[in-house]
Amino acid sequence: MLELKHIGYTVTDGDKPIDILNDINLTVDERFVAITGPNGGGKSTLAKIVAGILPPTSGQILLDGEDITHLSITERAKKGVSFAFQQPVRFKGITVHDLLSLAAGKPMSVSEACSYLSEVGLCAKDYIHREVNASLSGGELKRIEIATVMIRGTKLSIFDEPEAGIDLWSFQNLIQVFENMHEKKGGSILIISHQERILKIADKIVVVANGTVSDIGTPDVILPKMLNQSGPCSALTDKLK
């Protein structure tokens, strides 16, 4: 179980402090929790704070009751936090097989790698010896990134906008991946997404806007509210009239 208590994150622009996150309180105990909300609302910052990539300015992070607020990225990873980047990193010379083995923490056999790659819709035969470099497309990298998190199978898996940069056809398969993961995998999935189809399968939706949790609840409560929102401000709607 992940608990966030009064998490704040402030940066300074010159002398002026800017609150990116302000007093976030959240518990992730369910199997599948989705965070959504407008761009620039602080979702990715929150995910990075949980993974240890950014240090919170205030507040406390607990994993299964243990305070991990001041642990490094590596220590949190070892305690069971995994993080799939919104923009996966490229490595010259490191092959898909190498990266999957690093994720598994041990040399991985081709057949094991194959089973994970096929779950994200990639054929191991075509990919296993490829370098994780610029020769792979954004969608391919994204699926490999998702596979690295699946392999770890930790108690908390965070996905930062897995649908970003994926074409429509691949997106259909991606939904399937998360549906399968929802059924099979132990531990909790925390996923940042704008996609209704991903939000729909969540046990809980957390809406983060302007650096705070603005709403929280099950999809049947949250989704209708989001879809019925007034939409763009009057400056835009007036022009469209």
Tell me the one-letter amino acid at 133. Answer: N
Q: Which residues, in sequence order, are CB contacts of 65 under 8 Å at separation 6+?
A: 1
Q: 77-112: string of b/e by CB count within 10 Å (b at 16+)?
A: bebbbbbbbbebeeeeeebbbbbbbebbeeebeeeb
- Cβ 218 to another protein shortest distance, Å: 30
Among 102, 114, 201, 209, binds another protein (CB under 8 A): 102
Distances in Å between the Cα of 147 and the Cα atoms of 10, 105, 118, 180 are: 33, 14, 9, 13
93 part of the interface to another protein, by CB under 8 A = yes
Q: How many residues bind to another protein according to rule CB under 8 A? A: 24
Query: Rounded to an integer, what is the distance from CA 140 to the centroid of its chain?
Result: 17
**123-182: contacts with another protein (CB under 8 A):** 148, 152
17 part of the interface to another protein, by CB under 8 A = no
Among 105, 107, 217, 232, binds another protein (CB under 8 A): 105
Q: 196-212: string of b/e by CB count within 10 Å (b at 16+)?
A: eebbebbbbbbbbeebb
Among 20, 22, 47, 85, binds another protein (CB under 8 A): 85
Which stretch, 16-24, 87-95, 193-201, 219-227, contacts another protein (CB under 8 A)? 87-95
Phi-psi region of 39 (alpha: psi -120 to 50; beta: other; left: phi over 0): beta
Binding mask 38-57 for another protein (x = CB under 8 A): -------------x-x----
By the 8 A CB rule, do 188 and 30 touch?
yes
Residue with tokens 């704070």: 49
Measured from the CB atom, the residue of 103 and 113 that comes closer to another protein is 103
Tokens representing residue 18 in the block:
């800017």
Measured from the CB atom, the residue of 70 and 225 that comes closer to another protein is 70
Within 10 angstroms of residue 214's Cβ, the number of other Cβ atoms is: 13
103 part of the interface to another protein, by CB under 8 A = yes
Pairing between strand 156-160 and 188-192? parallel
- Cβ 22 to another protein shortest distance, Å: 25
106 part of the interface to another protein, by CB under 8 A = no
- Cβ 223 to another protein shortest distance, Å: 30
Phi-psi region of 63 (alpha: psi -120 to 50; beta: other; left: phi over 0): beta
Measured from the CB atom, the residue of 84 and 199 that comes closer to another protein is 84
Among 18, 91, 107, 167, binds another protein (CB under 8 A): 91
190 part of the interface to another protein, by CB under 8 A = no
Which residues here bind another protein, judged by CB under 8 A? 51, 53, 72-74, 77-78, 81-83, 85, 88-89, 91-95, 98, 102-103, 105, 148, 152
